[in-house]
Amino acid sequence: MNTIDLTGKVALVTGGSRGLGKAIAMAMAEKGAEVVICGRKQDNLDQAVEDLRQKGINITAFMANIGNSDEVTALFKAIEDRFDRLDILVNNVGMNILTPSVIATDEGLWDKIITTNLKGTFLASAGGARLMKKTGQGKIINISSIAARKAAMGMGIYCVAKAGVEMLTRVLAVELAQDHINVNGVAPSVVKTKFSQPFWSNESLLKEITNTIPMARIAETDDVVGTVLFLASGMSDFVTGEIITVDGGSMA
Ligand SMILES: NC(=O)c1ccc[n+]([C@@H]2O[C@H](COP(=O)([O-])OP(=O)(O)OC[C@H]3O[C@@H](n4cnc5c(N)ncnc54)[C@H](OP(=O)(O)O)[C@@H]3O)[C@@H](O)[C@H]2O)c1
């Protein structure tokens, strides 16, 4: 009960070629899982596989754009052919393009942000749940954001998409409970990755942000990984439909 052991589990971490996804992939492999990552760019995937190989960790990478249903179907087919099961799905892909105002945004940008963050989570959850039902169990973990619950300037469409991800988490938790598939989410505040570089690379903006966080710092990827491991493990078997906030107290 008091250790996290993912031996024998097959895990897919979407968007695992850098940032939070890469840290989650590494931690899950270290806990014994067979880990698959996906991303849009082969060179980013190759780099991640090589970085982890140099640390003695072997993972598998498949190229797939999570917002494209044909590519997602091919991704789950490849996982099925290779492993014939999926135990853990981390819907980690997320992106934003800074926009001054939602209503002044063109339709194309709305579609891109909603498709990648929300539709991608739906497509991958459908593909993942299909494989999980074959073994009668599974864990789906959606990476949300405190932006799902707190409007942030420049991030309006992303906020809407992540709010959708949180409701999708609760809806799928209810729908998949009978199949012994837990569906939960993790909502971090700013984590130091490429995604958030515009925030933490600007010294005065970083100071402004840390002033809103009682723990007085932004998160490193490892600050989020532990919660994801907990939700992937047997320690959280009776937890479903829950979003765990990992934010150094900022929402408190
Ligand atoms: N960093 C933060 O401050 C923060 C805070 C709260 C929540 N989050 C959430 O945490 C998650 C991870 O973010 P991060 O900061 O690690 O981002 P990141 O550094 O930008 O990494 C994103 C990863 O996703 C892949 N990716 C992007 N679009 C994709 C698509 N359409 N299909 C497949 N893969 C795609 C990228 O690879 P390619 O570019 O090669 O496709 C990369 O591996 C996201 O859901 C984000 O919303 C982040």
27-76 confidence digits (pLDDT tens): 999 999 999 999 999 999 999 999 999 999 999 999 999 999 999 999 99
Q: How is residue 12 written in tokens?
A: 């897919």
**Rounded (10°) CA dihedral 181, 223, 9, 25:** 120
CA distances from 157 to 77, 204, 214 (A): 31, 25, 27
Residues 224, 246 contacting (CB under 8 angstroms): yes
Asked whether residue 234 is assigned to any structural domain, the reply reads yes
Asked whether residue 252 is assigned to any structural domain, the reply reads no
Asked whether residue 87 is assigned to any structural domain, the reply reads yes
For 172-205, the DSSP string reads HHHHHGGGTEEEEEEEES-BSSSTTHHHHTSHHH
For 26-88, the DSSP string reads HHHHHTT-EEEEEES-HHHHHHHHHHHHTTT---EEEE--TT-HHHHHHHHHHHHHHHS---E
Asked whether residue 170 is assigned to any structural domain, the reply reads yes
Q: What mean pLDDT is predicted for residues 103-107? A: 93
> Separation of 215 CA from ligand 1 center, angstroms?
24
Work out how many domains the chain is built from and give that number: 1
Asked whether residue 197 is assigned to any structural domain, the reply reads no
Instruction: Write down the pLDDT at residue 83.
Output: 98
Considering Cα of 204, then 202, then 165, then 222, what sign does the dihedral take? negative
248 lines ligand 1 (CB under 6 A): no
Determine the 3-state secondary structure of 145 from DSSP: coil
Tens digit of pLDDT for each residue in 168-208?
999 999 999 999 999 999 999 999 999 999 999 999 999 99
Residues 190, 199 contacting (CB under 8 angstroms): yes
Asked whether residue 206 is assigned to any structural domain, the reply reads no
Q: Can you say how many angstroms the Cα of residue 192 is from the centroid of all Cα atoms in its chain? A: 15
Q: Which helix (H) or strand (E) holds 124?
A: helix 120-135
Instruction: Write down the pLDDT at residue 116.
Output: 98
The ligand 1 atom at the shortest distance from the C-alpha of residue 95 is 47
Asked whether residue 16 is assigned to any structural domain, the reply reads yes
Query: Is 158 one of the annotated active-site residues of the chain?
Result: yes
Find, among 27, 12, 103, the residue nearest to 66 by Cα: 12
Q: How sure is the predictor about 2, in pLDDT bands with cuts at 50, 70 and 90?
A: low
- Alpha-carbon distance of 83 to 76, in angstroms, equals 10
Instruction: Write down the pLDDT at residue 211.
Output: 97
Asked whether residue 33 is assigned to any structural domain, the reply reads yes
- Alpha-carbon distance of 184 to 180, in angstroms, equals 13
Return the CATH number at 172. 3.40.50.720
121 lines ligand 1 (CB under 6 A): no
> Separation of 51 CA from ligand 1 center, angstroms?
18
Tell if the pTM clears 0.95, that is, is over it: yes
85 lines ligand 1 (CB under 6 A): no
Q: By residue range, what is the domain housing residue 79?
A: 10-190+221-246
**Which of these is catalytic: 10, 158, 193, 247?**
158
| Mutational test site, ligand 1, from 14, 20, 37, max ligand atoms within 8 Å of CB | 20
